[in-house]
Amino acid sequence: MKYEVVIGLEIHAQLLTKTKIFCPCPTIFGSPANTQGCPVCLGLPGSLPVLNKTAVEFALMAGLAMDCTIAPESIFSRKNYFYPDLPKGYQISQYDLPVCRGGRIILDIDGIPKTINLTRIHLEEDAGKLIHDQDADSLFDVNRCGTPLIEIVSEPELRSPQEAYSYLSAIKQILEYLAICDCNMEEGSLRCDANISLRPFGQAKLGTKTELKNMNTFRGVEKALEYEIERQTAVLDSGGVIEQQTFLWNAATGTTAPMRSKEDAHDYRYFPEPDLAPLRISDEWVGRCGAAMPELPRPRRLRFVNEYKISPLMADALTAARAVADYFEEALLQCNDAPLVGHWIMGEVLRVVKESDTGIAALSLTPARLGALLNLVRANTISAAAAKKVFSVMQARGDDPGKIVAELGLNQVSDSSELEKVVRAILEGSPQEVSRYKSGDKKLASFFIGQAMKATKGKGNPQEISRLVSKLLG
Ligand SMILES: [Zn+2]
């Protein structure tokens, strides 16, 4: 690879407000077409926009979480263009004075932190939706017009499609922790456009960039970028020139197709929105938004490693979703063995969550009950194998583990005298194996242990049985 890859991403995140950004219309996804509209979002003459306070607060939280500078005063502008999904003929957005400036995201790439700086985060409204391929006509749905969005713009500091993927994941995680976006890419709640250019290593000047659109998954973004790197490399290698263009990614064919040559900002004739006052934000308001924020994913991940002495890999998995991290910490209140609790959540609990298709918070198996179950394992009351049985019953019925253990008779037998009788009987019944063991075939120990476990129906304490086997054969 002789070129350095330069990538910048623009992410549009739909804010989880109950109503649109400038009118009281609801924003429920999947409602029948054209049932969520009013004179404001249809842009009828004489209607006036009123800014949604919650949308501003969500933008402030995003800005604080991403280390932005919050502008004490910002303004909305009209971005003028004609398109059938935009009845007003302009989109209300922020242009030269956005609500959040600068900012950064810290990625952990193979354990090494890398900072990606942000240019800005601004508020804007979404356009409506066009539905094509319906006979000869295209259909228009106003429901999405005026849905509140934040646009998060990065500096061109990403150096590979894989870094772009990590950056997207980090932003998604922050938005989910803040509960300000559901991040559902299939429903369009999170959308990403990418700018990409190549330049020879060591050259300061940026190459000509192209824009990629229409990626509907994070993997799609990664693949589209890989495809565009190959395309640009081939053009440059053959002595050609990169044209500033927009390409649409086609996930089915794994290729891009040119869409249009890029408009310049002046094509949009931005000017301040005359119907909205400047947005003034007091320090006190910013403070209140900050106080309402939860601990963010990265600090929480680092704290889990330091405080609970679990591996970075486990901390990653446990903090991937806020509800899982909450579940983990609640279970720890009951059972103070972080690696054990973490191991069970990553294995059994997340498997059940995946199978049952409900969130972890809705499980009948509460974190306190999981903790109580694992305490029984730690106290050697039940074996790990028995714990799995109890776990599935708990999941189905939502009972306390102690009750289920008693019901199923799973109490582990650790009583030496009782176990010794069992082991003696097995050794007496297997004279050939005993003589082979005594002449050096020590691997047979596991055979005797297995027989004893069978005889106790899995309830014998394996450590104790193992000790007795060595003792009686020694
Ligand atoms: Zn409306």
pLDDT in tens, 117-161: 999 999 999 999 998 877 878 899 999 999 999 999 999 999 999
More confident call, 223 vs 418: 223
Instruction: Give the mean pLDDT of 66-78.
Output: 97
What separation in Å is there between the alpha carbon of 42 and the centre of ligand 1? 7
What separation in Å is there between the alpha carbon of 32 and the centre of ligand 1? 15
What separation in Å is there between the alpha carbon of 44 and the centre of ligand 1? 10
Residue 19 pLDDT more than 90?
A: yes
Instruction: Give the mean pLDDT of 59-75.
Output: 98
The reported pLDDT for the residue numbered 262 is 54
The reported pLDDT for the residue numbered 379 is 84
Residue 68 pLDDT more than 90?
A: yes
The reported pLDDT for the residue numbered 259 is 83
Confidence of residue 457 (pLDDT cuts 50, 70, 90): confident
| pLDDT tens for each residue of 36-55 | 999 999 999 999 999 999 99
Residue intervals in the chain for CATH 1.10.10.410: 416-473
Instruction: Give the mean pLDDT of 358-363.
Output: 86
Q: Please provide the average confidence, as pLDDT, over all residues in the chain.
A: 92
Q: Residue 179 CB: number of other CB atoms within 10 A? A: 13
Among 129-138, 167-176, 203-212, 225-234, name the one with the lowest average pLDDT: 129-138
CB 81 within 8 A of CB 72: no
The reported pLDDT for the residue numbered 414 is 67
What separation in Å is there between the alpha carbon of 92 and the centre of ligand 1? 14
**What's the CA gap between 350 and 431, in Å, rounded?**
46
Distance of CA 207 to the CA centre of its chain: 32
Among 243-247, 288-292, 392-396, name the one with the lowest average pLDDT: 392-396
User: Ranked by mean pLDDT, which of 7-21, 345-359, 367-381 comes out on top?
Assistant: 7-21
The reported pLDDT for the residue numbered 114 is 97
Confidence of residue 264 (pLDDT cuts 50, 70, 90): low
The reported pLDDT for the residue numbered 210 is 94
What separation in Å is there between the alpha carbon of 47 and the centre of ligand 1? 10
Instruction: Give the mean pLDDT of 192-214.
Output: 94
| pLDDT tens for each residue of 219-235 | 999 999 999 999 999 99
What separation in Å is there between the alpha carbon of 150 and the centre of ligand 1? 18
**458: region left, alpha or beta (phi > 0 left; psi from -120 to 50 alpha):** left
The reported pLDDT for the residue numbered 192 is 95
Q: Facing residues of 211 across strands?
A: 195, 246
What separation in Å is there between the alpha carbon of 463 and the centre of ligand 1? 68
**What's the CA gap between 20 and 264, in Å, rounded?**
28
Residue 363 pLDDT more than 80?
A: yes
What separation in Å is there between the alpha carbon of 39 and the centre of ligand 1? 6
What separation in Å is there between the alpha carbon of 99 and the centre of ligand 1? 23
Task: For domain 416-473, give the CATH number.
Answer: 1.10.10.410
The reported pLDDT for the residue numbered 342 is 97
The reported pLDDT for the residue numbered 465 is 86
Instruction: Give the mean pLDDT of 461-468.
Output: 84
User: Which two structure tokens, joined as six digits, stand for 226?
Assistant: 């890989």
What separation in Å is there between the alpha carbon of 24 and the centre of ligand 1? 6
What's this model's pTM, rounded to 2 decimal places?
A: 0.85
Residue 298 pLDDT more than 60?
A: yes
Residue 265 pLDDT more than 70?
A: no
